[in-house]
Amino acid sequence: MARKFFVGGNFKMNGSKASIKEIVESLNKVDIPDTVEVVIAPPALYVHWAKEHLTNPKVELAAQNAFPKANGAYTGEIAAPQIKDVGAEWVILGHSERRSIIKESDDFIAEKTVHALESDLGVILCIGELLEERQAGETVAVCTRQLEPVVEAVKDWSKVVVAYEPVWAIGTGLAATPADAQETHAAIRKYLSEKIGAQADGVRILYGGSVNGKNAHTFNDCPDIDGYLVGGASLKPEFVDIIKSRP
């Protein structure tokens, strides 16, 4: 099954009105191939600002988080319907920084995933292992553990994109070799095939470990790598090179 190349840009807690406007206006000028889907995730305060300045119909918006309730007394949280209301179509859930710093559990991330899908948002679901877990040979076990509660709760995976982000390669400049990344992606797809059947063939699995304009093309021959979730490089001109890295 052909899977559309997907490039996500996670701005994290970076940007201002001026800088995000500049990024968006730059993307407005990019001739994005029909074979590529591009989604950018500014900080929540700037999602609507980005939407107001976005004119390229091939670029969509995501929030970086969502709470699993539609409304209520949850100070500081953001609801999926609110994300939709300001024009975003996606949300990033389960990012390692949410897991490690905010201490979000696998079950809580699954709950958030279900609610976001029920609210008609697409979900970029992040998974990945720590350096010590990789050194102990636990990469696949960690990834499948993180996926398990989502697999149990979600029946329709058509709006879920999985992002494999080895934590040791986020923001460090380190990156898995294409062979290592492909091996992990293939194991993730094998697990999904065992759990959700034929749907797994259509689930896009992104790589997210320090991808940049120089190394993105090196993953092109990996059959189970369907795109990238980009961090720091999404704030730079080289993001366009990543978008155009797949022939």
How confident is the model at residue 1, as a pLDDT? 57
How many structural domains are present in the chain? 1
How confident is the model at residue 28, as a pLDDT? 98
What does the angle CA 157 – CA 46 – CA 237 come to, to the nearest 5 degrees?
85
Q: Block means of pLDDT (10 residues each) for the chain, length 247 residues?
A: 92 98 98 97 98 98 98 98 98 96 97 98 96 91 98 98 89 80 97 98 94 94 97 96 94
Catalytic residue among 60, 165, 185, 238: 165
Catalytic residue among 95, 97, 111, 129: 95
CATH number at residue 108: 3.20.20.70
How confident is the model at residue 225, as a pLDDT? 97
Please give the residue range of the domain that contains residue 204: 5-243
How confident is the model at residue 218, as a pLDDT? 95
CA distance 42 to 165: 19
Burial label for 241, CB within 10 Å (0-12, 13-18, 19+), is middle
Let me know if 217 is a catalytic residue.
no
Chain centroid to CA 173: how far? 18
DSSP state of 235: G
Q: Count Cα neighbours of 142 within 13 Å in the Cβ-side half-sphere.
A: 21
How confident is the model at residue 70, as a pLDDT? 98
How confident is the model at residue 134, as a pLDDT? 87
Let me know if 115 is a catalytic residue.
no
How confident is the model at residue 162, as a pLDDT? 98
